[in-house]
A and B are shown apart, each in its own frame.
Chain A
Amino acid sequence: MTDKIDKVPAGAPAPAGVPPEAIKAIPVRHYGRWVAGVVVVALLVLLGYAFSQGNVRWATVPEKLFDPTILSGLWHTILISVASMALGLVLGVVFAVMRLSKNPVTSSVAWLYIWIFRGTPVYVQLLIWFSLALIFPVFNIGFYKDEMTDVMTPFLAALLGLGLNEGAYMAEIVRAGIQSVDEGQTEASHALGMSQSKTMRRVVLPQSMRVIIPPTGNEFINMLKTSSLVVAVQYPDLLRAAQDIASTSFAVMEMFFVASIWYLVLTSVFSVGQYYLERHYARGSLRALPPTPWQKIKTNLLSLRSDQSGGAA
């Protein structure tokens, strides 16, 4: 045996009361960051300057922001977006389950639906629904009969166009969510004697939500914007309202700005809602839920106050 080991343990704790000496070093200078920052600010200033020189009557924007026509358009945009999204969600779940079913007929039909409605532009789909009267002048389902032009209102055309298109996208999102749930969950549920449908409703779908919600939120935000295409079917949405005012007041760009502001407000509000929804479905998968923005503000304020009182003492 050769070594004479020094018996003092390597990681001996420093004696109490003497704090370890902090490292004093000159930090790395990030010159690149400064250059990039200056360039970006300069470009922004140039852009702002360009707009200030443009022929824009800025006063019109706040003036028309709460115009009754605009507010009515805003309401219709929300209505058609929510209604289409609801239809899309229901269709999405139905077609996702059909697509995953063991029955070859239902799974092929679901495949066909997704193929058609995801593979054609939503604008074209809207026009097809709106023009349905050209090939079916009369709507007749036995117990109900009417002129197609009366049945296919702008609202219905917009709802079918947006909703069926959305359903195809949602079906793929829901399918991915369902498939993300561990096989063991289904087995455990079956072993307890739960039926196929109960297993889906009580065990698989709630867990797939965590995977489904984030892309669905994106879909909804997309929907709020895509809904502007319903101008094509004469639906009086936000963009249509802006265009109506623009055509009489000749403040075309100003009205587009008004519409853009409202679209930004809508998407921002729903982004916040999405945050809370995701938080809700994170239950059980995270040990501690992340704080809500409001809780963050509260704890920050509290710690600030205690710091101050501590400093004063």
Chain B
Amino acid sequence: MTPMVKAEGVHKSYGAAHILKGIDLEVNNGEVFCLIGPSGSGKSTFLRCINHLEKINSGRLYVDGELVGYRQKGDKLYELKDSEVALQRRDIGMVFQRFNLFPHMTALGNVMEAPIQVKGESKAVARERAERLLARVGLADKAGNYPSQLSGGQQQRVAIARALAMEPKLMLFDEPTSALDPELVGDVLDVMRDLAESGMTMVVVTHEMGFAREVGDSLVFMDGGVVVESGHPRDVLTNPQHDRTKAFLSKVL
């Protein structure tokens, strides 16, 4: 079976700053894949490379067997057109640290927007699904509210519903709970746990070690743009092999 995400020697730099220094990893279908590490270790950058929000400088990145952002013919690479990149992104949902909900649309409008604009779905169909998704994240009664009228946790749950509305085969979470008040974190994690149980493939950049241990199937510890250690979350978190991992975990656990 082709892995959902496959990275081969992925490098990324901004000018002189070398952020990713050769990432190799595989995310299997239906897996919850957690990325942890100190800030600046490149985990968010790597996540953003997966849906081509960032262009990689070398290596190969595949999602569901398909090269991200490029087409390979023989040994030549062709950059994909914007519209082709957009087509690839349809199937990859992304949840941001800062929610990035559309503030001029209601919660329902946020969830309906992409299916209508991108897939050309009818309003009725999109609304029906949006209502179902909002109910699923526990916000059926907030459908008519604007993002500014919602708490951070509620906004993030709307953002998850918005990503799910495109019926993605892969969900990317970029520190989804880092901008939340501690008491609101639980609601968002519950939604993510529910999503994991439904079999969604998820790549999660997180500082929530509890979530990684309970829900994660694989875990990677990154530092300085490389994968330092990987394995099952329980093994890595309770019995880290690498000194760098031990030092990091001793600070966050």
Verify A283–B104 contact, CB threshold 8 A.
yes
Interface segment, one of A196-204, A222-230, A246-254? A196-204
Decide if A190 touches B146 in the complex (CB within 8 Å).
Answer: no
A184-B100, A207-B104, A284-B104 given as contacts; is B89 within 8 A of A190 (CB)?
yes
Least CB distance, B248 to chain A, in whole angstroms: 27
A207 to B118 alpha-carbon distance, docked (Å): 20
* A197 to chain B: closest residue by CB: B82
Please determine whether A195 and B82 come into contact, CB atoms closer than 8 angstroms. Answer: yes
A286 within 8 A of B: yes
Q: Is the CB of B103 within 8 A of A192?
A: no
Interchain nearest-CB distance for A209 vs B (Å): 8
Given contacts A194-B86, A284-B147, contact A188 B103 (CB under 8 A): no
Question: In this assembly, does A285 line the interface, its C-beta being within 8 Å of a C-beta of chain B?
Answer: yes
Most buried by A among B86, B113, B118, B159: B86
Q: How far is the CA of A287 from the CA of B103 in the complex (A)?
A: 11
Best-buried of A189, A191, A284, A286 by chain B (most CB within 10 Å): A191
A202–B112 Cα distance when bound, in Å, is: 12
Q: How far is the CB of A163 from chain B (nearest CB, A)?
A: 28
Stretch at the interface among B90-98, B124-132, B180-188, B206-214: B90-98
Question: Which of A184, A187, A192, A202 has most B Cβ within 10 Å?
Answer: A192
Cα–Cα, bound, A185→B102 (Å): 7
Q: Is A287 in contact with B149, judged by CB distance below 8 angstroms?
A: yes
Interface residue? B161 (CB, 8 A): no
- Report the separation of the CA atoms of residues A191 and B93 in the bound assembly, to the nearest whole angstrom: 7
In the assembled complex, B53 has its CB within 8 A of some CB on chain A? yes
B148 at the interface (CB under 8 A from A): yes
Chain A: interface size category: 20 to 34
Contacting pair A192 B83 (CB below 8 A): no
Please indicate the chain B residues that have their CB under 8 angstroms from the CB of A203 in the complex: 102
Asked if B202 lies at the interface with its beta carbon under 8 angstroms from chain A, I say no
Which residue in chain B gives the minimum CB-CB distance to A195? B86
- Taking CB atoms, residues of chain A closer than 8 Å to B104 are 206-207, 281, 283-285
Q: Is the Cβ of A191 less than 8 Å from the Cβ of B89?
A: yes
Residues of chain A with a CB closer than 8 A to B82's CB: 195-196
Partner of B89, one of A193, A196, A281: A193
CA distance A171 to B100 in the complex (A): 27
B114 in the interface (beta carbon within 8 A): yes
Question: Quick check: A284 and B146 within 8 Å, CB to CB?
Answer: yes
- The residue in B105, B162, B163 that gathers the most chain A C-beta atoms within 10 A of its C-beta is B105
A192 near B113: Cβ-Cβ < 8 Å: yes
Chain B residue nearest in CB terms to A193: B90
> What is the CB-to-nearest-CB distance from A289 to chain B, in angstroms, rounded to a whole number?
11
Contact A207–B103 (Cβ < 8 Å): yes
Roughly how many angstroms separate A190 CA and B89 CA in the complex, as a whole number?
A: 8
Measured in the bound complex, the distance between the Cα atoms of B163 and A78 in whole Å is 47
**Chain A residues near B148 (CB-CB < 8 A):** 284-287
Give the CA-CA distance A82 to B117 in the complex, in Å.
32
Which residues in B have their C-beta under 8 angstroms from that of A198? 117-118
**Residue contact B147 to A185, C-beta cutoff 8 Å:** no
Residues of A close to B87: CB separation below 8 A? 193
B118 partner residues in chain A, CB cutoff 8 A: 192-194, 198
6 A-B interface contacts by CB (under 8 A): A184-B98, A185-B100, A187-B100, A192-B162, A193-B87, A283-B104
On A, residues with C-beta under 8 Å from B are: 182, 184-185, 187-196, 198, 202-203, 206-207, 281, 283-287
List of 3 A-B pairs having minimum Cβ-Cβ separation, nearest first: A193-B90, A188-B100, A192-B114
What 11 additional pairs, Cβ within 8 angstroms, besides A192-B162, A195-B82? A188-B96, A188-B101, A192-B113, A192-B114, A193-B114, A194-B117, A207-B103, A207-B104, A284-B104, A284-B105, A285-B103
